[in-house]
Amino acid sequence: MPAIPACFKAYDVRGRVPVELDVELAYRIGRATATWLGGRTFAVGRDCRLTSGELCDAVARGLTAAGADVVDIGECGTEMIYHVTAAKGLDGGIMVTASHNPMDHNGMKLVREEARPISGDSGLHEIGALAVSGGGARAAAPGRVTRLDHREAYVADLLELAELSDLRPLKIVANGGNGCAGPVVRALAAHLPCEFVHLHDEPDGTFPHGIPNPLLPENRGQTAAAVRAHGADLGLAWDGDFDRCFFFDETGAFIEGYYLVGLLAAASLRRHPGAAIVHDPRLVWNTVAMVEAAGGRPLMNKTGHAFIKERMRAEDAVYGGEMSAHHYFREFHYCDSGMLPWLLVIQEMSRTGRRLSELVAAMQAAYPASGEINRRLHDPDEVLIALERRYAPLSRGIDRTDGISMDMGEWRFNLRKSNTEPVIRLNVESRGDADLMRAKTAEIMALLDG
């Protein structure tokens, strides 16, 4: 197989424009995708980055050159491509987005029929090789491009899936980060008895308030401050293509995605008793405890949307969650959504009459966690070997589902290499002992930094 372009990663296409990804390559990717899948109709969409329009147009030209018809839904979130592909029975879809990457980056997320992901081990690299070698077939009769405003149908399905009823009139701060979330939040808000404080909700590819990536602590201040200033019940923020949603409680405190996995798992099991729940291996004790207490089956699986979705389909799991704020739902075509989670959380707040801080307090106390800590290292593999030598004699169990996880009884850690960035990621948790968790986190970080 020919060498693939550097912008082809484990799960998607992502790189600097125009150095690693340009209009010509985007055109070839479109042609190669239609050729490799052999499909007749594909959806395309784009985020609001300044280069997304021309790249999306090039993808559409490539698809039609191969004889495929294109349904262009315009500026949207990634999950809207998932939704239109599955809901309308299309052969595939391509979303042009770089999510939370730097300003000069862009990329693509590809799916096939039923919104099944196309990743490195399921055809993405073959598409990359085909793009390099010429781009695939040219049809005698090119396909057509049809424009479709899909937002109304997508919003209607979200409202139906969330089964919203008897909602309290909550006040919600919604920070769109000048990505694509704002217009969808406003469309949903029109159907809810809640008061919204909208921050940076106009899509703007210059990102005047910084790249939308609330996973970074330095990007959380505006949302937290707005929650406190407005006396809001809840704060929400999204990344650029809004496939991840981040939560702040009524005090402005950021809620780690780990505890949202437990909360949403329990809520899903109340609607689907005894179902399977898929979770990632980075932080696990709270999720397992919540799922088992609710009568479900917890299933640990390798991190990454393609792996989680595949396992969910195999097990018919009702929900899948990653502590990085990716939440997957069987009823949403086994795909991740950044909108369904907050709709379900406000439903839980209304049903129980409890604040978000109260819904997660017991989980936070029972299983204190470090949150994910990233380090760029010269030789990550050497570090993994060194950490295993250091802690294996103390460990009650070692798991290699993703990176290395070690269970020391009262605390555990997971250390793994990123599939999308040249970094190593650390997560530590303990059984009810926040001081122990902090001490062990500092201990491992000293070894990493040394």
Q: Write a three-state SS string for the chain.
A: CCCCCCCECCCCEEEECCCCCCHHHHHHHHHHHHHHHCCCEEEEEECCCCCHHHHHHHHHHHHHHCCCEEEEEEECCHHHHHHHHHHCCCCEEEEECCCCCCCCEEEEEEEEHHHCECCCCCCHHHHHHHHHCCCCCCCCCCCCEEECCCHHHHHHHHHHHHCCCCCCCCEEEEECCCCCHHHHHHHHHCCCCCEEEEECCCCCCCCCCCCCCCCCHHHCHHHHHHHHHHCCCEEEEECCCCCCEEEECCCCCEECHHHHHHHHHHHHHHHCCCCEEEECCCCCHHHHHHHHHCCCEEEECCCCHHHHHHHHHHHCCCEEEECCCEEEEHHHCCEECCCHHHHHHHHHHHHHCCCHHHHHHHHHHHCCECCCEEECCCCHHHHHHHHHHHHHHHCCEEECCCCEEEECCCEEEEEEECCCCCCEEEEEEECCCHHHHHHHHHHHHHHHHC
- Per residue in 114-147, pLDDT (tens digit) is 999 999 889 999 999 999 998 788 999 999 999 9
What pLDDT was estimated at residue 137?
Answer: 82
Catalytic residue among 99, 119, 337, 430: 99
Give residue 19's pLDDT band: very low, low, confident or very high (50, 70, 90): very high
Give residue 1's pLDDT band: very low, low, confident or very high (50, 70, 90): low
Domains of the chain and any CATH numbers:
13-149 (3.40.120.10), 153-162+170-255 (3.40.120.10), 257-336 (3.40.120.10), 373-449 (3.30.310.50)
- Per residue in 353-380, pLDDT (tens digit) is 999 999 999 999 999 999 999 999 888 8
What pLDDT was estimated at residue 183?
Answer: 98
- Per residue in 256-298, pLDDT (tens digit) is 999 999 999 999 999 999 999 999 999 999 999 999 999 999 9
Is residue 99 part of the annotated active site? The answer reads yes
- Per residue in 381-414, pLDDT (tens digit) is 888 899 999 999 999 999 999 999 999 999 999 9
What pLDDT was estimated at residue 121?
Answer: 85
What pLDDT was estimated at residue 277?
Answer: 98
The percent of residues above 90 in pLDDT, for the chain, comes to: 90
Please give the model's pTM, rounded to 2 decimal places. Answer: 0.96
